[in-house]
């Protein structure tokens, strides 16, 4: 009885306990499910993806060629990393990686854009440098053709050589991927080429101004020869011809060689130019010259002396410069090149021929260009 | 009863001490300062791998600190991030030293190149001074003089880059200078041979 009595309340209490336990279990399950739903995985894949994209951007040179975009991607990656870390530190039900995910996606995009921009810019810059280099190379070759031969202008040659140095530098810089420096070197080279144009323009202007004077000198020499029935010599530097005239008529034409800087007027000793002016033979040297026969002319004449003094005064030539002397028409020529210091050279046979007609006092007119004559 | 209360109080105090560990702000600042020094030393340019490794470590340390910062104070532990900041600092210091050494190595290399270029220029000038002066080679000599002048201009340009710390550009320019100087030396030899042939 006693046992039966105590059994009934025990059964009721068990039922109650079971109900209570069920409620607790339901509550716990709810909390657990809430906890589990709050436990999102951190976006490690997105983080790794963005990190690799940034490495790739660096590899293709984004730090150099798309720096702003690269730094933006770098900052986004770090911001994303920090946001993920911040969320990881929170109590799991409250974690939310959405913001971190979107920042990392932005970092990935920025890194890819930086890589693409770097590749585009690198390609464009390389192509610009290559084009600039090839352009300068072409221009230099064309100037080389223009400067060679009779047009030996040393000032122009100097600028050409400076441009050539710039070309070589740009080539070396392109090999080392220093494209911007290479472009700068080409620009410097181009400036030197502009200076060649200026030198040649000055030369052309000088010629245009002097052509009338040269024509007058030629006409005066011809007229004197015609009037007095005498012999005369006219040298046309641009044609590389020496004309022997008598009584105003052409007797013979000789090919001649000149000073190595023959395209210019002679300004001072050692400039390699053949003088332009009206001269006459002061001495005929059948022997005594270091060349095979020679006719010495009266360089410098009064005009030369005046010009020399004027140029010195204006500082166009060094104050230590000398005017020079000993300009001759001499033998040992026939080298097919302008090689003298300023003299006029003929072959020995032609020198023998010329000496038959010429004597001391024979006028010698030297012009850069005689144009209409003979 | 008193025993239980004491245990509880000690436990709470320990949790408080451990949980409220101090953030490694000083270590982070020290690492940032060393990073700036590495940047000043151009470590990013001269030793990119070492610099990137140091930067990755610093960024990871900052993230680890951030994770702890966002935790409930009692559960914070900055031991790992502190270690990482210290490691990052050491890596930046190494990157700085390595960058300085690498920069010096490049500088010495370009300086040697400049000395070689100068020696070549000097020998070209000597050869030009000794070149035959007689008629027939004078025009060639004058043209070679021009070339030598342009090489001198190029040398000065490369030297200016070197003095300005632009070692890579200077290196490329000195190479071009040496190339052209060799060309000048060859021209002088050719002029001598031409004269001898006359």
pLDDT of B137? 64
Picking from A89, A158, A178, the nearest residue to B149 by CB comes out as A158
Would you give the end-to-end CA distance of chain A in angstroms?
163
Under an 8 Å CB criterion, which residues of A touch B?
58, 63, 78, 81-82, 84-91, 152, 154, 157-158, 160-162, 164-166, 168-169, 171-173, 175-176, 178, 181, 185, 260-261, 272, 335, 337-341
Kindly indicate the confidence band of residue A122, based on its pLDDT and cuts at 50, 70 and 90.
very high
Kindly indicate the confidence band of residue A29, based on its pLDDT and cuts at 50, 70 and 90.
confident
Residues 43-72 of B with CB under 8 A from A: 44, 48, 52, 59-60, 62-64, 66-72
pLDDT of A153? 62
pLDDT of A118? 96
SS (H, E, C) chain A: CHHHHHHHHHHHHHHHHHHHHHHHHHHHHHHHHHHHHHCCCCCHHHHHHHHHHHHHHHHCCHHHHCHHHHHHHHHHHHHHHHHHHHHHHCCHHHCCCHHHHHHHHHHHHHHHHHHHHHHHHHHHHHHHHHHHHHHHHHHHHHHHHHHCCCCCCHHHHHHHHHHHHHHHHHHHHHHCCCHHHHHHHHHHHHHHHHHHHHHHHHHHHHHHHHHHHHHHHHHHHHHHHHHHCCEEEEEECCCCEEEEEECCEEEEEEECECECCCCCCCCCCCCCCCCCEEEEEEEEECCCCCCCCEEEECCCCHHHHHHHHHHHHHCCCCCCCCCCCCCEEECCCCCCCCCECCCEECCHHHHHHHHCCCCCCCEEEEECCCCCCC
Picking from B70, B157, B172, the nearest residue to A178 by CB comes out as B172
pLDDT for A286-310, tens place per residue?
776 788 899 999 999 999 999 999 9
Kindly indicate the confidence band of residue B20, based on its pLDDT and cuts at 50, 70 and 90.
low
CA distance B124 to B178: 11
Kindly indicate the confidence band of residue A39, based on its pLDDT and cuts at 50, 70 and 90.
low
Contacts of B62 in chain A (CB under 8 A): 78, 81-82
Q: Comparing C-alpha atoms, which of A307, A258, A281 is closest to residue A361? A: A281
pLDDT of B135? 55
Scanning the structure block, which residue is given the tokens 């038959």?
A356
Q: What are the extents of the domains in chain A?
A: 211-367
Kindly indicate the confidence band of residue A178, based on its pLDDT and cuts at 50, 70 and 90.
very high
ipTM topping 0.85: no
CA distance A73 to A104: 9
pLDDT for B175-197, tens place per residue?
999 999 999 999 888 877 776 65
Mean pLDDT along residues A102-112: 97
Which stretch of B6-20, B94-108, B153-167 has the lowest confidence by average pLDDT? B6-20
User: Would the CB atoms of B135 and A341 count as touching at under 8 Å?
Assistant: yes
pLDDT of A1? 41
Picking from B44, B169, B180, the nearest residue to A168 by CB comes out as B180
Find out whether A365 and A278 touch, Cβ atoms under 8 Å.
yes
User: Would the CB atoms of A88 and B67 count as touching at under 8 Å?
Assistant: yes
Picking from B59, B72, B176, the nearest residue to A81 by CB comes out as B59
CA distance A100 to A77: 10
CATH number, domain A211-367: 2.40.440.10
pLDDT of A151? 39
Mean pLDDT along residues B30-51: 95
Mean pLDDT along residues A174-181: 93
What would the two tokens of residue B25 be? 């702000």
pLDDT for A206-229, tens place per residue?
788 888 899 999 999 999 999 999
pLDDT of A2? 45
pLDDT of A33? 61
- Main-chain phi, psi angles of A253, to 5 degrees: -120, 130
């Amino acid at each position: 009885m006693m046992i039966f009595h105590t059994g009934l309340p025990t059964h009721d209490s068990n039922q109650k306990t079971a109900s209570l336990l069920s409620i607790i279990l339901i509550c716990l399950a709810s909390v657990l499910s809430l906890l589990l739903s709050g436990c999102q995985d951190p976006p490690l894949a997105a983080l790794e993806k963005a990190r690799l994209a940034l490495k790739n951007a660096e590899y293709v040179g984004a730090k150099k060629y798309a720096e702003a975009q690269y730094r933006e991607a770098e900052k986004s990656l770090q911001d994303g990393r920090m946001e993920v870390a911040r969320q990881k530190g929170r109590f799991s039900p409250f974690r939310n990686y959405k913001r971190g995910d979107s920042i990392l996606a932005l970092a990935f995009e920025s890194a890819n854009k930086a890589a693409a921009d770097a590749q585009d810019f690198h390609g464009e810059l390389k192509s610009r440098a290559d084009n600039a280099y090839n352009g300068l190379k072409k221009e230099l070759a064309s100037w080389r053709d223009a400067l060679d031969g009779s047009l030996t202008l040393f000032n122009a040659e100097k600028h050409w050589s400076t441009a050539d140095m710039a070309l070589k530098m740009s080539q070396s810089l392109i090999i080392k991927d220093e494209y911007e420096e290479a472009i700068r070197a080409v620009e410097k080279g181009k400036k030197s080429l502009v200076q060649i144009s200026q030198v040649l323009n000055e030369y052309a202007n000088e010629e245009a101004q002097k052509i009338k004077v040269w024509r007058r000198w030629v006409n005066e020499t011809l007229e004197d020869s015609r009037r007095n029935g005498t012999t005369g010599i006219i040298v046309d530097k641009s044609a590389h011809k020496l004309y022997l005239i008598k009584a105003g008529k052409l007797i013979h034409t000789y090919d001649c060689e000149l000073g190595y800087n023959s395209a210019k007027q002679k300004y001072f000793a050692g400039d390699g130019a053949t003088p332009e002016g009206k001269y006459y033979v002061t001495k005929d040297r059948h022997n005594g010259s270091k060349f095979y026969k020679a006719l010495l002319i009266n360089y410098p004449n009064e005009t030369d002396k005046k010009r020399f003094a004027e140029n010195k005064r204006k500082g166009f030539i060094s104050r230590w410069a000398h005017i020079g002397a000993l300009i001759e028409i001499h033998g040992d020529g026939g080298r097919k090149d302008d090689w003298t210091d300023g003299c006029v050279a003929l072959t020995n046979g032609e020198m023998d021929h010329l000496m038959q007609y010429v004597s001391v006092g024979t006028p010698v007119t030297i012009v850069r260009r005689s144009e209409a004559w003979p | 009863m008193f025993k239980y209360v004491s245990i509880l109080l000690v436990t709470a105090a320990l949790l408080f001490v451990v949980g409220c560990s101090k953030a490694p702000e000083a270590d982070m600042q020290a690492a940032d300062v060393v990073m700036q020094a590495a940047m000043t030393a151009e470590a990013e340019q001269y030793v990119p791998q070492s610099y990137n490794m140091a930067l990755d470590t610093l960024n990871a340390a900052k993230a680890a600190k951030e994770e702890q910062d966002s935790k409930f104070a009692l559960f914070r532990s900055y031991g790992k991030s502190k270690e990482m900041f210290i490691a990052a600092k050491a890596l930046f210091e190494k990157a700085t030293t390595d960058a300085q050494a690498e920069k010096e190595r490049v500088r010495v290399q370009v300086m040697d190149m400049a000395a070689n270029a100068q020696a070549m220029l000097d020998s070209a000038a000597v050869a030009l001074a000794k070149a035959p002066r007689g008629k027939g080679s004078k025009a060639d000599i004058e043209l070679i003089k021009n070339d030598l002048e342009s090489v001198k201009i190029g040398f000065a340009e490369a030297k200016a880059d070197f003095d300005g710390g632009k070692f890579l550009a200077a290196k490329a320019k000195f190479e071009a200078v040496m190339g052209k100087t060799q060309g000048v030396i060859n021209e002088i030899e050719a002029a001598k041979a031409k004269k001898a042939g006359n």
